[in-house]
Copies of this chain bind each other. A is one copy, B any other.
Amino acid sequence: MRYLPKSDAERAAMLREIGASSIDDLFAVIPEEYRLARDLDIPRQMGESEIVEWFRSAAAKYTVRHTSFLGAGVYRHYRPCIIDSLVQRGEFLTSYTPYQAEITQGTLQAIFEFQTMIAELTGMDVANASMYDGSTGAAEAVMMAVRVTGRDGVLVARTVHPEYREVMHTYAQHREAETGDVMREVGYDPDSGRIDLAALEAAVTDQTACVLVQSPNFFGIIEDIPAIADIAHKKGALLVVSIAEAISLGIVRPPVEADIVSMEAQSFGVALCYGGPYCGVIAAKEKYVRQMPGRLVGQTTDRNGYRGFVLTLSTREQHIRREKATSNICTNQALVALMATIFLTVYGKEGIRELAEHNLAKSAYTAQVLAAGPGARLRFTGAPRFHEFVLHTDEDPAAWHHRLHEEKIVGGLELNRWYPELDHATLWCTTEIVPREKIDIAAKQLAAVSVEA
């Protein structure tokens, strides 16, 4: 096997030195009846060219270069090519969690830079080294709020990504089992598309550990964070803000009133890759740092006085605290966090704003031309949005989806799957990479509704 650095002669020699007569001696401890006497029933060993060909044809089953207006928590932005050339350096790609600081300063300093950038963008004091993704990050943020407040109740806006909410439910299960329905959802205002503040006010109690909202929310609407914070804080509950589109922070006011921010950083140079790997991250106010889940890198000096970085506050973590740990997370998304760090370094202070503006402009144009079609209108126009919007069409989306596919375009996502009340409503996203001509084609096709409709 071409990955194995041994010849049969070397294997034989090593067995001799061990004093084993054959390799089977080393597996003798496995009870006879459980030893596999046959080949595994998996495809035969392939050559590299065959492997590449196999994946090429799998990839080709989807005609690449479709234009897509899908967003909904996963956003296609241009990825500067230096990200890939840097993260593929073996020194980053093939090293482990930086337990041995003397020979992992590269990874450690990069994570420290990542933590700083996330804190700067979110308006929080500190950020961790990453979580699995935005959905598990949100669930961990909620558990963190429960630890901080010693309370159990959790209020989640229905405008939060439906799959994020499902994950939070899964994580809350056992607490539900014990203390009953700990997690409740708060509806949204039908014309602003924002969380219903009155309903929220009514729902928050002194048993509420936290209120969790997403902004921009699942409909692309920017929530009124200051107002929500007031409501939560009045009752001593924490405010957790989940951010699924990190690019929005280039132009949208950061949720400085929040106590914890849980963000999905996929937009920062990470490929869509059919859903992962992405990069969650939790940021918070300084005072909560010892309740944070996940790894943290801190600055220190070595015995000669050189500045250096180390994994720190690990008494929070499973390998020290075991069942008392703040989380069970061990492996995180380090390399993806590095991609995000490079992305943010490429765009920098000015670029992230300019990029966000382009997204805003593209989406505004798309909304305008799509809504101009017969029987089409925008939903939730009562509040500001970033680069996603909800479109209502009198025509059944299935019908125009078909017309768009003919043009190699994937249109907006149907919302009735999660919001039965939003029938014929679709969620559209336009990032900077969608060319105007495709937007116009989409508009033309949408407008080409057959008269009967």
Contacts and interface: CB of A to CB of B under 8 A. Distances in A.
Contacts of A81: 48, 52
Interface string A413-443: 0000000000000000000010000000000
A150 B52 CA distance: 53
Contact of A88 (B49, B80, B85): B85
A89 interface: yes
Using C-beta atoms within 8 Å of the partner chain, give the interface range for chain A: 10 to 19
A78 interface: yes
User: Most B CB atoms within 10 A — which of A49, A81, A85, A433?
Assistant: A49
Interface string A65-80: 0000000000000101
Nearest to A80: B48
A54 to B, nearest CB: 13
A52 B80 CA distance: 10
Contacts of A85: 88
Contacts of A88: 85, 88
A69 B433 CA distance: 38
Interface in A11-28: none
A88 to B, nearest CB: 7
A48 B343 CA distance: 13
A80 B85 CA distance: 18
A78 B81 CA distance: 25
A49 B431 CA distance: 13
A60 to B, nearest CB: 9
Nearest to A60: B65
A49 B433 contact: yes
A80 B48 CA distance: 7
Nearest to A50: B78
Nearest to A85: B88
Nearest to A433: B49
Contacts of A48: 78, 80-81
A359 B12 CA distance: 34
Contacts of A78: 48-49
A48 B49 CA distance: 30
A318 to B, nearest CB: 34
Interface string A81-92: 100010011000
A106 to B, nearest CB: 14
Interface string A44-55: 000011001000
Contacts of A433: 49
Contacts of A52: 81
Contacts of A89: 89
Nearest to A82: B48
A55 to B, nearest CB: 12
Contacts of A80: 48
Nearest to A81: B48
A347 to B, nearest CB: 11
Interface string A28-48: 000000000000000000001
Nearest to A78: B49
Nearest to A88: B85
Given A48-B81, A49-B78, A88-B88, 6 more contacts: A48-B78, A48-B80, A49-B433, A52-B81, A85-B88, A89-B89
- Of all A-B residue pairs in the complex, the 8 with the closest CB atoms, nearest first, are A49-B78, A48-B80, A85-B88, A48-B81, A49-B433, A89-B89, A48-B78, A52-B81
Interface of A: 48-49, 52, 78, 80-81, 85, 88-89, 433
9 contacts: A48-B78, A48-B80, A48-B81, A49-B78, A49-B433, A52-B81, A85-B88, A88-B88, A89-B89
